[in-house]
Amino acid sequence: MNSMTTENLEQPASDEVSAKRLEKIAHENNKLHKRLCRLVGQAIGDFNMIEDGDKVMVCLSGGKDSYALLDILMTLRERAPIHFDIVAVNLDQKQPNFPPEVLPAYLDKLGVPYHIENQDTYSIVKRLIPEGKTTCSLCSRLRRGILYRVADELGCNKIALGHHRDDILETFFLNMFFGGKLKGMPAKLVSDDGKHMVIRPLAYVKEADTERYAEVKGFPIIPCDLCGSQENLQRKQIKAMLREWEKKHPGRVENVFSSLSTVVPSHLQDRDLFGFVGLKTDGVPNPLGDIAFDEEPCSTPTSNTISLTQL
Ligand code: SF4
């Protein structure tokens, strides 16, 4: 009798807790969706990625990022004051155990026009690259050529890829650490055949957000290691470095990312980018010029620092 009474008393309380938890989760998910829409919309606007009348080919690999890209672009298309078309394209490279039914089933349900391109690049790569060597560079070259052709055939003038902020940062550090170049992954660029505009609408989105969004939406993820290629070790190191910075130095990764949009060529050393060789004095003070002997004002003065007014 006693236990019955306790159960009856506890039931409403635990229902209330669950309801509150569900409400909180729904609120967080809604915030995530809004954030993704805002950041994608902002990147599209900042780089003028999509214009009225565009036909955008959204490359769908079956990974979390490309699913998120397609989903958010479809939401934005509903709200946009301009008209643009979307075609989802998957390249089935005939990798072992690739489940060919997953994407068509998802896309049919979504009601978006799509095309599945079947090309056995896997066999070509296996035939041409000796066992144990990295296959990614040939594989991506083949993939790129095929996707450009498909974009032509489908009449798409824009090709949207699902690279996000973390991909951009990793590429930036890879190029700097291992290639000796200040070079990232552009949010918008002309394809190497000169015919298409390649866009990366997730450029401002963190990977953690696409990860979470994929969970929330229950995207039918297709694993990305079907080809059997090992993940690039250098990229793995960079990823780990960035994760460590995120944890130990909040704000640092954001600052590095924002520095990619705030470049001062006159304060780097690329002689092609800035005319150092022909640089002349003109006698005109420049408030934005180098304050040659001053420290950069990185931090606010502490009690140990002497301000100019104290001197
Ligand atoms: S991981 Fe596999 S599918 Fe991806 S680029 Fe490399 S070889 Fe190609």
Q: Could you read off the pLDDT tens digit of each residue along the chain, which spans 311 residues?
A: 344 444 455 566 678 888 888 999 999 999 999 999 999 999 999 999 999 999 999 999 999 999 999 999 999 999 999 999 999 999 999 999 999 999 999 999 999 999 999 999 999 999 998 887 888 889 999 999 999 999 999 999 999 999 999 999 999 999 999 999 999 999 999 998 899 999 999 999 999 999 999 999 999 999 888 888 777 889 999 999 999 999 999 999 999 999 999 999 999 999 999 999 999 998 988 776 766 566 665 544 333 333 333 32
Q: Which domains does the chain have, with CATH numbers?
A: 21-232 (3.40.50.620)
Q: What span, in angstroms and rounded, lies between the C-alpha atoms of 132 and 134?
A: 7
Report the pLDDT value the prediction gives residue 238, as an integer from 0 to 100: 96
User: How much distance in Å is there from the Cα of 140 to the middle of ligand 1?
Assistant: 7
Is the CA virtual torsion 176, 182, 187, 193 positive or negative? negative
Candidate from 91, 136, 224, 232 with most ligand 1 atoms within 8 A of CB, to mutate: 136
Ligand 1 atom with minimal separation from the 95 CA: 3
Evaluate: CB of 32 within 6 angstroms of ligand 1. no
CA distances from 309 to 214, 238, 288, 291, 301 (A): 55, 43, 22, 18, 12
Strands ordered across the beta sheet of 85-92: 114-118, 85-92, 55-59, 158-160, 197-199, 188-190
Q: What span, in angstroms and rounded, lies between the C-alpha atoms of 11 and 18?
A: 11
Q: Work out the end-to-end distance of the chain between its first and last CA atoms, rounded to an integer number of angstroms.
A: 83
Evaluate: CB of 171 within 6 angstroms of ligand 1. no
CB-side neighbour CA atoms (13 Å) of 44:
23
Structure tokens at 268: 């780097």
Residues 6+ apart with CB under 8 A from 17: none
Evaluate: CB of 140 within 6 angstroms of ligand 1. yes
Report the pLDDT value the prediction gives residue 292, as an integer from 0 to 100: 59
Evaluate: CB of 229 within 6 angstroms of ligand 1. yes
